[in-house]
Structure 1
Amino acid sequence: MRQAVLVIDVQQGLCEGEGAVFDSAGVIARINTVTRRARAAGVAVIVIQHESGPGYLEHGTAAWQSAHGLEVQPGDHRVRKTTPDAFLRTSLAPLLQELGVQELVVCGMHTEFCVDTTTRQALARGYPVVLIADGHTSAGNPALDAAQVIAHHNHTLANIESFGPRVRPVSAADYRPDAGSTISSGRPSGSAKKV
């Protein structure tokens, strides 16, 4: 099943200051493991960046840039977004269609916002999701610390059945990319591999 890796909002502004996410360096290292394997197997890597108005992830600012340590390659695709949903008013859906993607691998920042929303939208659009269980993170909130937010979402997203497609949490170490196979039209074919 042809995959694409979505690297969601791994941006410098989310890794520093009062609202810094939990274990950013460790999460970035694990995401790099996933994207290296993906690129080596011919799986597309899509780097998604959030942008807001002045003072928070403003386009072009240092805070908006990819986080220090995140490995981004010239062949990676880029998508800009302005809401927690990476599909809403963005180029993501047509890009996935153009690439013939059948399954998404999701990792990134702000588990309970952009990772959660994009994962649910992917399911609603018919994409099964491999959630990198140790490759997403949060700053936590007054009700739950970051580790609890992450664990909660790994459990909750994996137990949503009503969309049809499912979420499979997989650690970065256990991720195995699947580029699928193609026929002459460029459409993916062949049977799905288990991650």
Structure 2
Amino acid sequence: MIFIQHESTGGYLEFETREWQLAQGLEVVPGDVRVRKSTPDAFLLTELEALLQAREIGELIVCGMHSEFCVDTTTRRALALGYPVVLIEDGHTSEGNAFVSAPQVIAHHNVTLAAITSFGPRVRTVTAAALQFETP
């Protein structure tokens, strides 16, 4: 498993602060990798693409915080790089904003990202409960 952690150089999400830690309930086991990022794009200025290639990973499962920033940007970049994406439709979140609520942001991104066809690879949405991993 590859965990992506957004960080800032100070304040909220500063490296190794309480806010920077992975969400409670996520289990990291030996062999898992953490990738630190500082932009909404998990591929930009990180080793993510090299890790995916080295591990021969051909499809990504995406979840996280913020639907309209990191989840959206990383999903679109993955598609542009040729990776199909499984988006956990109840596994990403948002704070919303003055114009749309968090549930509206989430629903919008589930529909919008799954509707993108121009990259070739597609986004498939599934619930966390319906997610199934293939075992080698």
Query: Residue 129 of structure 2 aligns to a residue in which SS?
Result: helix
- What's 1:86 paired with? 42
- 1:143 deviation in Å? 1.1
The one of 89, 92, 101 equivalent to 2:57 is 101
Deviations 1:64-121 (A, max 9, x none): 1222333222321110001000000001000000000111111111111000000000
Query: Residue 91 of structure 2 aligns to a residue in which SS?
Result: strand
State percent identity of aligned pairs: 67
- What's 1:175 paired with? 131
- Aligned partners of 1:178 and 1:103: how far apart in 2? 12
The one of 73, 77, 81 equivalent to 1:121 is 77
**Matching of residues 10-89 of structure 1 within 5 Å:** 45-89=1-45
Q: Which amino acid aligns with 1:120?
A: R
Deviations 1:141-180 (A, max 9, x none): 111101000000000000000001000001111111135x
- Aligned partners of 2:61 and 2:22: how far apart in 1? 19
- Aligned partners of 1:99 and 1:56: how far apart in 2? 32
How many residues are paired up? Answer: 136
Is 2:100 the partner of 1:153? no
- Aligned partners of 2:83 and 2:26: how far apart in 1? 25
- What's 1:166 paired with? 122
4+ residue runs over 3 A deviation:
none
List runs of 5+ in structure 1 lacking aligned partners.
1-44, 182-195
The TM-score normalised by the length of structure 1 is 0.67
- What's 1:112 paired with? 68
Q: Which amino acid aligns with 1:78?
A: R
- Aligned partners of 2:26 and 2:124: how far apart in 1? 24
- Aligned partners of 1:152 and 1:104: how far apart in 2? 20
Query: Taking CA–CA contacts closer than 8 Å with sequence separation of 6 or more, which of the two structures ends up with the larger relative contact order?
Result: 1
